[in-house]
């Protein structure tokens, strides 16, 4: 419905969105969205799209009887509820073992760990077997080397070994001892080229 004239123009309902209502260019420009898979903005990263399918049918191994069967009231989620009852059985058989008595133990040496006693030295005889107690003397050990490249606790300078002149490509080289062409095996073509198809009958 049009209103009365206001000066040289008459107010009327707007026919579309007004650009002044938007702080951005608004509907004047259309930018592709950044959600979805179809029509995605090519300047933005797009995550891989996956298709959703329906739920899988239950397998025969996972199907439970359901409410078809009667479950006793004593069955709980943690197992069968059994009230405490007295169990009458025969006397268990025990094996007769010969265990040591109180007189088999000697507690006298333990007194020095329990009571405060004065220091005392024990006098014993020299052991008969001296071979096990013989320790090596000072002349048995050898000290690590100090000079040379392979030292333990000192810094060594680079060491070079002097050797003779090589006979390679010299006038003294015996070319008769070099292997000939027949000394090497033939290399299969399938090693460095595309392998040909192989079929067995």
Q: Give the pLDDT of residue 28.
A: 60
Contact 108, 115 (CB under 8 A): no
What is the distance between the alpha carbons of residues 33 and 41, in angstroms, rounded to a whole number?
6
Asked whether 22 and 32 are in contact (CB, 8 A), the reply is no
Residues of the chain with pLDDT under 70: 1-2, 19, 22, 24-29, 59-69, 127, 129-133
Residues in the chain: 201
The pLDDT, as a whole number, for residue 62 is: 63
Please report the pLDDT score of residue 130 as a whole number.
65
Contacts by 100-107, CB closer than 8 A, 24 or more apart: none
pLDDT computed for residue 37 by the predictor:
79
Q: What is the pTM of this model?
A: 0.16
CB 42 within 8 A of CB 32: yes
Identify the pLDDT of residue 63. 66
Instruction: List C-alpha distances in Å: 108 to 105, 113, 114, 116, 120.
Output: 9, 10, 10, 14, 16
Name the residue among 149, 30, 175, 12 with its Cα closest to residue 2: 12
Q: Give pLDDT, residue 47.
A: 83
Query: What is the pLDDT at residue 25?
Result: 58
- The per-residue pLDDT for range 52-100, each reduced to its tens digit, is 777 777 766 666 666 666 777 788 888 888 777 777 788 888 877 788 8
């Amino acid at each position: 419905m049009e209103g009365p004239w206001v000066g040289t123009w008459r107010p009327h309902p707007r026919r579309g969105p007004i650009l002044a209502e938007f702080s951005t260019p608004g509907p004047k420009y259309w930018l592709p969205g950044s959600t979805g898979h179809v029509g995605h903005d090519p300047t933005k990263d797009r995550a891989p799209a996956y298709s959703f399918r329906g739920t899988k049918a239950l397998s025969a191994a996972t199907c439970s009887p359901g409410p078809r069967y009667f479950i006793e009231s004593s069955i709980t989620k943690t197992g069968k509820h059994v009230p405490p009852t007295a169990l009458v059985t025969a006397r268990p058989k025990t094996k007769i073992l010969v265990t040591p008595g109180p007189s088999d133990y000697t507690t006298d040496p333990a007194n020095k760990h329990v009571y405060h006693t004065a220091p005392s030295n024990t006098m014993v005889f020299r052991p008969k077997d001296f071979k096990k107690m013989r320790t090596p003397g000072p002349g048995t050990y050898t000290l690590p080397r100090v000079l040379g490249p392979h030292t333990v606790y000192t810094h060594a300078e680079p060491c070079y070994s002097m050797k003779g002149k090589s006979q390679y490509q010299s006038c003294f080289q015996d070319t008769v001892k070099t292997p000939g062409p027949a000394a090497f095996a033939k290399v299969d073509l399938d090693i460095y080229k595309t392998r040909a198809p192989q079929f067995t009958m």
